[in-house]
Amino acid sequence: MKTINKINISGAEVYPLIEGGKGINGTDGKSSGYWAKEGGVGTISMVSPTEISLSGTIIPEIFHEKIRAKRHREMVEYAIRGGISQAQIAHDIAGNNGRIHINMLWEMADSEEVIIRVLEGAKGLIHGVTCGAGLPYNLGAIAAEHNVYYYPIISSARAMKILWKRSFRNYAQYLGGVVYEDPWLAGGHNGLSNAENPLQPERPYERLIELRKVLTELGLPNLPIIIAGGVWSLSDWQDYIDNPELGQVAFQFGTRPMITKESPISDAWKMLMMHAQKGDVILQKFSPTGFFSSAIKNNFLSNLIRRKKAEIPYSETATEEMTFLLPVSPIKAVYIRSEDKQHVEQQRHLGYSMIKETPDETLVFLTPDEWTNIQIQRAECVGCLSQCQFSGWSRANGTTGKLPDPRTYCIHHTLMDIGHGGDIQNNLAFAGHNVYRFATDPLYANNHIPSIHELFNAILNGK
Ligand SMILES: Cc1cc2nc3c(=O)[nH]c(=O)nc-3n(C[C@H](O)[C@H](O)[C@H](O)COP(=O)(O)O)c2cc1C
Ligand code: SF4
């Protein structure tokens, strides 16, 4: 096993081992502080971080406003106060060791404001900002203004080229590295482009070589590439370490640090991951952001898959194909294919009696309870995303102008719930495709939950 040497990240010599930021409440001040204390880079999630009062109590995110746009402002203010309080916790734990980064999902509504105001409120405590899910054009300018390093998360060399040409070249000195996140392996949202096939994974090596080629062309031959997605043990990555073709690399761990003593997620979620089997994680496109994402196939995902499988096309007007008039509400009927009549009856028979339209001129079938939950969650929307397919909310205009899509879900509601001890079967449980390795890795024998110190040492030793 090759030894992994410290490199310069965000202005300090640290181990090139990075805790991938995870929202909501998948990484926090405590987890990132302990990761940095080991001499690595800890990452606090800025997606609705939990606010901790000066006396150490949790301030729950409760919304009081009646209007969505105002609840959205409440959410932003909670996130800023939460982010600052978590940065202080991370700093206190890490001391002067390692580095502390923050992570933001660029497609969150007002993500820039949250980053800027957290950097202002936690001045000197944060060394870098990582941003993915979308093209974070303004990240360089924000980092330069606040004298911190920035790290775009991309899944192809092409994305880096676009970002560089459009904006990053003006802020080159603050660009600390680029995170290459394997879209077929990483947990959470994945950056698969339309040209890439979710069912045909591509080897990371060639894509990383392509990225290094592009970085060299852009005049960045020594910029660290942070490899994320499917990273478990460094012994699997020997060919990538000290490889002159690839240049300087670091490794980001997303799924593996979730089972540590300091990880903020519930024991039930940890055990779900501990016993996951190969193939339990699926790459799918149900997220209201429109991105692909990878999560454990629990009841939550199985229900969405069922809903999608039972979907049928419809038309507002009669056509040669759509001839059968089907009532979908007390005041509306649409046309479906006559051969789908029996399917509708079957769905009703199974309890899926609520028939709802999607923006793609299809119908889905829901139980009355499912429909009630969708209505409640839409009514309680806090406008967390810049554009949301589930509720039709748009930060810019109030509405996307499209029909809200019942094939998706409220990501704020479900991640907030599972991130704070909620049901692990009926919420979205993001995880990387290597999650099955917990079950056989000796570090976790007899359901052992290691501390971050134990995990960090195991990783350094190639385990
Ligand atoms: C539960 C979970 C939540 C995540 N949330 C985020 C997030 O909010 N922002 C982000 O940039 N990446 C997020 N990620 C991706 C991780 O930071 C990391 O890049 C990825 O998990 C690496 O792949 P791995 O899971 O195979 O280790 C998340 C991953 C998981 C498993
Ligand atoms: S409905 Fe959409 S925008 Fe509203 S809180 Fe849920 S995920 Fe966010």
Query: Which of 306, 301, 315, 290 has its CA nearest to residue 366?
Result: 306
Using 50, 70 and 90 to split pLDDT, how confident is the model at 136? confident
What local confidence, expressed as pLDDT, does residue 91 receive? 98
Instruction: Answer yes or no: is pLDDT of 56 > 90.
Output: no
Mean per-residue pLDDT for 182-206?
Answer: 93
What local confidence, expressed as pLDDT, does residue 63 receive? 94
What local confidence, expressed as pLDDT, does residue 1 receive? 82
Residues 339, 337: Cα–Cα separation, whole Å: 5
Q: What are phi and psi of 239, to 5 degrees?
A: -70, -15
What local confidence, expressed as pLDDT, does residue 130 receive? 97
How many A from CA of 141 to the centre of ligand 2? 28
Q: Which of 63, 410, 428 to mutate to test the pocket of ligand 2 (most atoms within 8 A of CB)?
A: 410
Using 50, 70 and 90 to split pLDDT, how confident is the model at 213? very high
Please indicate whether residue 412, judged by its CB atom, sits closer than 6 Å to ligand 2. Answer: yes
Burial class (CB in 10 A: 0-12, 13-18, 19+), 340: middle
* Cβ–Cβ < 8 Å for 107, 188: no
Sign of CA pseudo-dihedral 194, 200, 201, 206 = negative
Residues 352, 330: Cα–Cα separation, whole Å: 17
Question: Do 224 and 320 sit in the same domain of this protein?
Answer: no
Question: Do 63 and 24 sit in the same domain of this protein?
Answer: yes
Q: Which pairing describes strands 188-190 and 292-296: parallel, antiparallel, or unpaired?
A: antiparallel
Question: Do 243 and 128 sit in the same domain of this protein?
Answer: yes
Which amino acid appears at position 107 of this protein? E
Please indicate whether residue 98, judged by its CB atom, sits closer than 6 Å to ligand 1. Answer: no
Question: Do 30 and 102 sit in the same domain of this protein?
Answer: yes
Question: Do 316 and 364 sit in the same domain of this protein?
Answer: yes
Please indicate whether residue 385, judged by its CB atom, sits closer than 6 Å to ligand 1. Answer: no
What local confidence, expressed as pLDDT, does residue 29 receive? 98
pTM: 0.96
Question: Do 372 and 248 sit in the same domain of this protein?
Answer: no
Mean per-residue pLDDT for 370-375?
Answer: 98
Ligand nearest to the CA of 294: 1
Ligand nearest to the CA of 132: 1
Using 50, 70 and 90 to split pLDDT, how confident is the model at 429? very high
Does some domain include residue 277?
no
Ligand nearest to the CA of 252: 1
Does some domain include residue 443?
no
Please indicate whether residue 382, judged by its CB atom, sits closer than 6 Å to ligand 2. Answer: yes
What is the tally of structural domains in the chain?
2
What local confidence, expressed as pLDDT, does residue 92 receive? 97
How many A from CA of 22 to the centre of ligand 1? 5
Q: Following DSSP, what letter does each residue of 372-416 receive, concatenated?
A: HHHHHHHHT----BSB-TTT--BTTTS--SS---TTS--HHHHHH
Question: Do 187 and 70 sit in the same domain of this protein?
Answer: yes
What local confidence, expressed as pLDDT, does residue 303 receive? 98
Does some domain include residue 292?
no
Residue 49, domain CATH: 3.20.20.70
Does some domain include residue 184?
yes
Mean per-residue pLDDT for 126-142?
Answer: 90
Question: Do 147 and 254 sit in the same domain of this protein?
Answer: yes
Look up tokens 């592009």; give the residue.
214
Does some domain include residue 100?
yes
How many A from CA of 4 to the centre of ligand 2? 42
Nearest 5°: the CA angle 128, 131, 137 is 105
Does some domain include residue 437?
no
432 CA: nearest ligand 1 atom:
25
Ligand nearest to the CA of 69: 2
Question: Do 144 and 249 sit in the same domain of this protein?
Answer: yes
Question: Do 259 and 309 sit in the same domain of this protein?
Answer: no
Question: Do 198 and 329 sit in the same domain of this protein?
Answer: no
Does some domain include residue 1?
no
Please indicate whether residue 437, judged by its CB atom, sits closer than 6 Å to ligand 1. Answer: no
Query: Which of 350, 354, 308, 313 has its CA nearest to residue 334?
Result: 313
Share of the chain above pLDDT 90, in %: 93
Using 50, 70 and 90 to split pLDDT, how confident is the model at 135? confident
Residues 60, 80: Cα–Cα separation, whole Å: 14
Contacts of 131 (CB under 8 A, 6+ apart): 103, 104, 105, 106, 111, 115, 139, 150, 151, 152, 153
Instruction: Answer yes or no: is pLDDT of 175 > 80.
Output: yes
Instruction: Answer yes or no: is pLDDT of 66 > 80.
Output: yes
Residues 263, 178: Cα–Cα separation, whole Å: 25
Domain housing 331:
299-419
Instruction: Answer yes or no: is pLDDT of 133 > 80.
Output: no
Mean pLDDT estimate for the chain: 96
Question: Do 316 and 410 sit in the same domain of this protein?
Answer: yes
Please indicate whether residue 153, judged by its CB atom, sits closer than 6 Å to ligand 1. Answer: yes
Does some domain include residue 424?
no
How many A from CA of 253 to the centre of ligand 2? 27
